[in-house]
Amino acid sequence: MKIALIIENSQAAKSEIVHDALKTVADPLGHSVFHYGMYGPEDEAQLTYIMNGLLAGILLNSKAADFVVTGCGTGMGSMLGCNAMPGVICGLVIDPTDAFLFGQINDGNAISMPYAKGFGWAAELNLQDCYRKLFEVERGVGYPKERAEIMAKNRGILGAVKAAACHDMLTVLKTVDQDLLKAAISGEKFSEYFFANSQDEAMSDYLKSVLAA
């Protein structure tokens, strides 16, 4: 699985802590982690939680990533930014129970975490425990198990409602503020990672034109 990590500017100083915790869990499971930034507070490309959402939409809809891990101070902003995008189902994960239940019940493709609120002593251990509850177990099997069938049905209904309520991602890219879009995809490693992994030629071509403008 290709896991994309996206860090918002207010929490960029914790980028290494989050990245290391994610790789500690993901690498032994055979998953690949692609860190799309931010890498530090002084990065030229400054990502807001709104840009985090745009990036999550780009990466998941193009299949450049299978899962997105993001966050901000409370986790709320990045969650809202992600859920504004077509094809993105993002949960707010604060502790391992949240991670387990989101994976089992909602089986989304993104999580947002708080990297300021409650981020205290041994916070990296909580991060690792959350990632384990997401990635070490089969997701979408339901909890409690006797409700698995109705939970799967509801996930399908939610996906259909979201598809009806949203434009496709390419339309979003063409109609969103183009300066905002260019800022979101101007990170140090975006081009290297995205264009090598994207499976959507039309989206890739459009983003190349935005970067070249």
Residue 69 banded pLDDT, cuts 50, 70, 90? very high
Cα→Cα distances 97→32, 130, 180, Å: 24, 8, 35
- pLDDT single digits (tens) 159-185: 999 999 999 999 999 999 999 999 999
How many domains, the chain? 1
- pLDDT single digits (tens) 91-120: 999 999 999 999 999 999 999 999 999 999
Q: What is the pLDDT of residue 149?
A: 95
What is the rounded CA–CA span in Å between residue 44 and residue 157?
A: 41
Number of residues assigned to the chain: 213
Q: What is the pLDDT of residue 192?
A: 98
Average pLDDT over residues 23-32: 98
Q: In this structure, what token pair is assigned to residue 108? A: 């989304």
- The alpha helices in the chain, defined as continuous H runs, are 15-26, 49-61, 76-83, 96-101, 123-135, 148-165, 169-175, 178-184, 190-197, 201-212
Q: What is the CATH number of the domain that holds 193?
A: 3.40.1400.10
By residue range, what is the domain housing residue 124?
Answer: 2-212
Q: What is the pLDDT of residue 64?
A: 98
Average pLDDT over residues 7-11: 97
Q: What is the pLDDT of residue 194?
A: 98
Three-state DSSP string of 63-79: CCCCEEEEEECCCHHHH
